[in-house]
Each structure stands twice: as C-alpha cells, then as structure tokens.
Amino acid sequence: MDRPSANHRDPWFPPFFKECLEDTKFLFQSKEGTPFIFPGTGTGGWEAALTNTLSPGDKVLTFRYGQFSHLWCDMMERLGLDVQCIETRWGDGACEETIKKILSEDKDQKIKAVCVVQNETTTGVTSDIKKCREAMDAAGHPALLMVDGVSSIGAMEFRFDDWKVDLAVTGSQKAMSIPTGLGLVCASPKAMELSKSAKLNRVYYDFKDQTATNPSGNTPYTPSIPLLYGLRESIGLLRSEGMENVWARHNRLATGVRKAVAAWGLELLCDNPRWASDSLTVIKMPEGSVDTGKIVALAYNKYNMSIGVGLSKVAGKVFRIGHLGNMDDIMCLSSLAGVEMVLLDAGIKITPGAGVGAAVKYFQETAAPAIPTRAVVDI
C-alpha cells in the first residue's frame, strides 16, 4: 500500500482491477457470484445489498442480538422496509428453528429476505449461516439470504456458493488487516436478477453502474488505489495460507483465548459454545466490579494496548479481545499478558500468569512441528 495513487484511467488499471474482482470472489468462496468493490465500508455494503434487491414495503426477517445487527435493522426501517425483527438475548445468535417456523407460516411468501449478521462484534457471537440456509430450504421459502460478514469473512468458515447465500457483505478493516475504506459485496445470480426490478432508491451503491463498467476493468467513480493494492496483497496471503488453514488458525487462537478467560475465572458474554466467535472474545466483568470502559482506557493509557469497549446495552459490562486477521500465537499471548496486567491493576482477583499459562499450554501442545515454509528441528 505504500505507493502513490495513480490515474485509474491509464491502461495499467483495467487488468489490475479485474484481478481485484477475482480475488474478491475467492474471499467469498464463490465462483457463481458477482463481486463488487465499493469505496466505502461494510455499512455501505449493507445499503448496497438491500437497495439493489428490494422495493419499498418489502418484508424482511432479521434478528437483533447486538449493536451491529441493531444498526442493520435501523437501516432497513429507514429505507422503508417492513422489518420483522426477532429480539434475541445479547449473547445468543440467530435461531434456525425460528427462521424455519416463521417462513413455514408465511404462506403468501411476503418475506423477501432473511438477513443475518454472521459474527456480531458487540457480543462475540457467531450465527450458523449454513444451518440458516438449511432452515430456509426446509421451509421451502424463496426469500433471499443476506449475510453481514464484516467481522467473519476471511477469518471464519464462509462458503457463498455452497451455502446458497444471495448477498454477502464485508469490509477491508477486519480480517483483511488493511485500513477501513472498502465495502465488499458478493451477489448471487438470483440477487442480480432481482436487482433489475428492485425499486428502492440508490445512486452511489447502484449495482447497475458497476456492472456497466467492471467487466472492462473500470469503475464508475474514483477508486482507492492504495487500498486496492492492500486488498490484493491481503487476499494473496490468504491464498498462500489456504482458506481452510486460515479458518483453523482463527479457531485455534480463539480457543486459546477462551482457555485464558476460564483460567482467570471470568465468564464470556456468549455462554453457549455453539455461538462462540473465532474473531473475537467478549468477556463479562463480575457484577459490581469496575466499569469496563475504565479497563479499556487503562490498557491504552498505561500499556499502549487497544482492547474493545462494551457497546450499547453491554457498555461498561464487558470488554472485547480481537484475534482476527494477521495474528499468530506470539501476538495473541502478548495481548493476553497485557490484559492480565490491566485486570490486576483494576483490582480483579486473578492469579498472575494464569490466563497466559493456560493459553501457552494449549498453543504449545497444538502447534505444528514447524511453519510450513520452514524445516522441522529435531531436539
């Protein structure tokens, strides 16, 4: 990314941008989908998914179980959609049986889309998109399946084609480990067909402007050249590691962090293992203890470490440890050591080294004999 911007109307750009689009399909694990790269964020991707496939008054089914699912619900309502929002405990995910029941009862098929946040960053909860699709199929319902994968795609298992996802959205700043500024969308052939008749207003995020220019390697407006270079390098790293290995690495890091939390004697906001996120871990503070906003501020001010605050309904009650993107065992252990120091400073009764020790034990016991590109050393 450390390069000057360049004129995207010069001959070098079209082949470069075509490669970016193909890389994006790989990220979504799709061969059939149409990729879009918007200068924007995941929120812009949400708007693109909704406005290009739905019309005013269309009914959508969704769940609210964290700040980001809440914000997506809010966008749906403000766009003029009829939103059936299932209020869910902050710490649980999308219930597949609820999806099946509601869709089975929708005899007139008024519901046009089911919208699910795969990984709710507020709560450390991951919904099972594959099972959501199976529930939709069991109900025999034609609704679109839309997925917010902003903090999951590129870190956790996601299979656009195999799971018959119709629209998926992610951003550049999470698992891609590059700055905020790209909103990435993948649309199924079914979604693309519906975009021809969708009546919600759209301008900047109109698929039509992209499909008129992208096939020739061009864009309808100025792209962010440095971010596109970053995207290519980031997805190149994922390709070289292999997506199955990427998903396994994130699961292993997350398991190590969860073992550390258990050794501290603390609890996760997500108390059902089936929902546990491999992108981040959200930790509850004991009732009546310190405001977690102060823990986050202390980590930053004293140790130059950034951990996540609790948001909205869980503000002051939890803090968040991220473990996605460009991270390995040693980086993760460093973060856990910093968290231990902050917890001790805050007067939380933990044993120094307990969490780090639990993670060290797990990582050491589960580590490969050597990094794939390096030789095994016999001792």
- The confidence score (pLDDT) of residue 16 equals 98
- The confidence score (pLDDT) of residue 373 equals 85
Q: Provide the whole-model pTM.
A: 0.96
**155-159, Cβ contacts within 8 angstroms, sequence gap of 24 or more:** 155/119, 155/246, 155/247, 155/250, 155/278, 155/279, 155/324, 155/325, 156/118, 156/119, 156/126, 156/247, 156/250, 156/251, 156/277, 156/278, 156/279, 157/247, 158/28, 158/29, 158/118, 158/129, 159/29, 159/130
pLDDT in tens, the chain (379 residues): 888 888 999 999 999 999 999 999 999 999 999 999 999 999 999 999 999 999 999 999 999 999 999 999 999 999 999 999 999 999 999 999 999 999 999 999 999 999 999 999 999 999 999 999 999 999 999 999 999 999 999 999 999 999 999 999 999 999 999 999 999 999 999 999 999 999 999 999 999 999 999 999 999 999 999 999 999 999 999 999 999 999 999 999 999 999 999 999 999 999 999 999 999 999 999 988 999 999 999 999 999 999 999 999 999 999 999 999 999 999 999 999 999 999 999 999 999 999 999 999 999 999 999 988 899 999 8
- The confidence score (pLDDT) of residue 334 equals 97
